[in-house]
Structure 1
Amino acid sequence: MDYEPPFLKIYSDLLRESQQLSPLVGETRNYDDKFCEVPLIDIGKLNAERDIIEAARKWGFFQVVNHGIPQELLDGLMREQMMEVFHRPFGTKCEEHFVNNLSASASSGYRWGNPSATSLRQLSWSEAFHVFLPDIATMDHHTRLRSNLKCFATKAASLAERFAEILGEEVKMKSSYFRENCLPNTSFLRLNRYPVCPVASRVFGLLPRSDSSFLTIVYEDQVGGLQLMKDGKWCGIKPNPQALLVNIGDLFQAASNGVYRSIKHRVLAAEKEERYSVAYFYSPSYDTVIESHERAASLYRKFSFREYKQQADRDVKELGNKLGLSRFLL
């Protein structure tokens, strides 16, 4: 099918080498078959704030219901609009960059695989559209998707700010910190598709990583495959069609001095059915300074978001994956 990224062609040498190796036992398919009991929080209840804080401390992940995003919008994204945009010819996806005008946010656009991969362990068998929020308005060829993404982004931004202020107050951050630094033009959406993979036991759908954000809000279809690291083992997260999944990013772990946990997570390569998800990354401007607001001795040195991103980009280019907060330990 001409809409599929050319994984088999571009990575033919890596795939040929992998035929002489055993599957990545311990890295992909070797995990606890039981789903994690990720906290499920009804954010309309009185004790929701305390539940959010406890989940961020103990899990770094939680699901929320009664979030205010219409179910028909979420279903439409997963079942129609995203499939439509990803099932265009591969060349068209690459050339159009998804939006008509990238002058404001040059990082928006289409991405797939991993240009720096030197082994299958560094290859993500997935494709994605990165869309900075101001660029949604330029999506003239995808009017229904544009409307739904605008609504999703607006609701997710409001939720992220609400959650961030709850968590920030607990660790002595100024109440205005997030409103001043995490603006609509600094956060972005990522639309993800995980194609069916003929070598699913040898690659990842998404490489193990933590997120380069304060918070990430995700809605996924019901195919499954997302896992998090819990107590030294990988365990799956069961999709909930009514819930959004929220996770703590590296920036919040640093700003909270380790009180909140940015947990490694990954996605298994799709074996039988393609998978879709949409993620909202609540991120600051590049000049924002990240530092601990706790009185205890800091675990991390003070750094700007620009420093963090530049270091992550260097690590991906040189090592095939980012190292994250370990680069900023004192």
Structure 2
Amino acid sequence: MLIPHPSMLVAPQNTLGNDMEGQQQNFDGPLMPNQSNIPSEFVWPDNEKPCLVAPELKIPPIDMKGFLSGDPQTVSKICAEVSEACKKHGFFLVVNHGVDKKLIDQAHKLIDTFFCMDLPDKQKAQRKLGEHCGYANSFIGRFSSKLPWKETLSFHYSADNSGKTVEDYFVNVLGEDFRQFGILFQEYCEVMSNLALEIMELLGMSLGVDRECFREFFKNNESVMRLNYYPPCQKPELALGTGPHCDPTSLTILHQDQVEGLQVQVDGKWYSVAPKEDAFVVNIGDTFMALSNGIFKSCLHRAVVNNQIVRKSLAFFLCPNREKLVTPPKDLITMENPQAYPEFTWPSLLEFTQKHYRSDTKTLDAFATWLREKNK
């Protein structure tokens, strides 16, 4: 059921006027539903404009409880399903994951609370140019065209047990009043990290390597959590909530609210991934594609917007510890399948995608070329 956001019931002063073209933009989510003429910076080229109605992508619901049961027949079936999906497009669902529904619901409520604050309050956490954490209103300042119709808040999570990185972030950046935000999202990230490590066991077995191989690699992960807020857009046929991209990270665990928007490109055609309240959408990122020696695919995906209701999502991006060398296990390097990409550390790929390259299907190839030139 579509319930209009409260901000749609009032008519606040425009933050993006028709005379703003070419000037510095301000994107404030709760005020955007009233923009009847969206600025040209948000209009995507004809060959990239969204198809608002796309066929649903059939992706396997992976039963994590069944996988962890240890039943050989069940585990074998699940690994085969994951392997098939990840070789084709890198997307699957996880169900019976054991994550408390109350925790998920509370996290979604806090998304509303944060993004409905006044813009100056949100901008206390403004992301600095070249950095990947903080508040971003449509990546203004980073890109000059094809801007995404969204706001985000991203923050760092460390699994090395050295401190409460998420809680400290909210208190240090936004103040003591945000400690409960920090406590809630600290718990959410810890739960996501544990789930990600279980999924890494599954991916390892699906690739035919030791079950502990990737779990051990990501044990002390230094990951990123992102809150996404997509306000209604009066011309959704012209804009995109998130442009086509592949995640440069290792693994994404996404929880969508009940508003459709996620689309995945398979064999040149766009498909929608329908929201399922009891499931997480999982997809392979470029870093794990390199770890799998190109066997598992990082796939192009995007988010479309609508003209009726806010869409929200919670995205946990699993990343390795910054000192880990990203290189495939020896079992995945053969005469028939030699090492596809040079070894690297995650911070170098992050630098490349934040400062030098807008992520797409060729990110890893472009990064490999850049890395070789840099290391000469």
Do they fold alike, i.e. is TM over 0.5? yes
Alignment of 1:236-315 (within 5 A): 236-293=272-329, 294=332, 295=334, 296-315=337-356
Q: How does 1:23-102 map to 2 (within 5 A)?
A: 24-30=45-51, 33-45=54-66, 46-47=74-75, 48-78=78-108, 80-96=109-125
CA spacing shift, 1:149–1:3, aligned 2, 3 Å: farther
Shift of 1:77: 2.2
Mapped contact 1:38–1:59 kept (Cα < 8 A): no
In structure 1, the partner of 2:33 is none
Structure 1 position 136, deviation (Å): 1.9
Q: What runs of 5+ residues in structure 1 fail to find an aligned partner?
A: none
CA 1:212–1:4 in structure 2 vs 1: closer, same or farther (change >3 Å)? farther
Aligned counterpart for 1:210 among listed residues 242, 246, 264: 246
Distance of 1:108 and 1:228 partners within structure 2: 25
Q: 2:144 aligns with which of 118, 121, 124?
A: 118
Distance 2:155 2:14 in 1: 19
After TM superposition, give the deviation of residue 236 of structure 1 in Å.
0.6
- Number of the residue aligned with 2:255: 219
Q: Which letter does structure 1 place at the counterpart of 2:133?
A: S
Q: What is the CA–CA distance in structure 1 between the aligned matches of 2:87 and 2:220, rounded to whole Å?
A: 25
TM-score, length basis structure 2: 0.74
| Contact 2:18–2:39 under 8 Å retained in 1 | no
Aligned to 2:212: 175
Where structure 2 has 5 or more consecutive residues not aligned to the other structure, the ranges are: 1-6, 24-37, 67-73, 158-163, 171-175, 370-376
Q: State the distance in 2 between where 1:113 and 1:238 align.
A: 24
Deviations 1:241-280 (A, max 9, x none): 1101110010111111111010011001332211110111
User: Hey, what's the Cα distance between the residues in 2 that align with 1:4 and 1:39?
Assistant: 46
The residue aligned with 1:324 is: 363
Q: Is the 8 A contact 1:3 1:89 kept in 2?
A: no
Q: Which amino acid in the other structure matches residue 293 of structure 2?
A: N
**Mapping for residues 159-170 of structure 1, pairs under 5 Å:** 159-169=195-205, 170=207
Question: How many residue pairs are counted as aligned between the two chains?
Answer: 315
- Deviations along 1:71-94, whole A, 9 cap, x unmatched? 12222322x221011111110011
Match of 1:266, SS state, is strand
Is this contact kept in 2: 1:5–1:127, CA < 8 A? no
TM-score of the superposed pair, with normalisation by structure 1: 0.83
Q: Which amino acid aligns with 2:220?
A: L
Q: Is the 8 A contact 2:204 2:213 kept in 1?
A: no
Residue identity (%):
24
Separation of aligned partners in 2, 1:300 and 1:129: 31
Contact 1:182 1:282 in 2 (8 A): no
Task: Name the CA shift for 1:5/1:161 in 2 (closer, same or farther; >3 Å).
Answer: farther
CA distance in 1, matches of 2:284, 2:19: 34
| Change over 3 Å in CA distance of 1:160–1:5 after alignment to 2 | farther
Say which of 170, 177, 189 aligns to 1:141. 177
Decide which structure has the larger Cα Rg and report it.
2
CA distance in 2, matches of 1:4, 1:150: 36
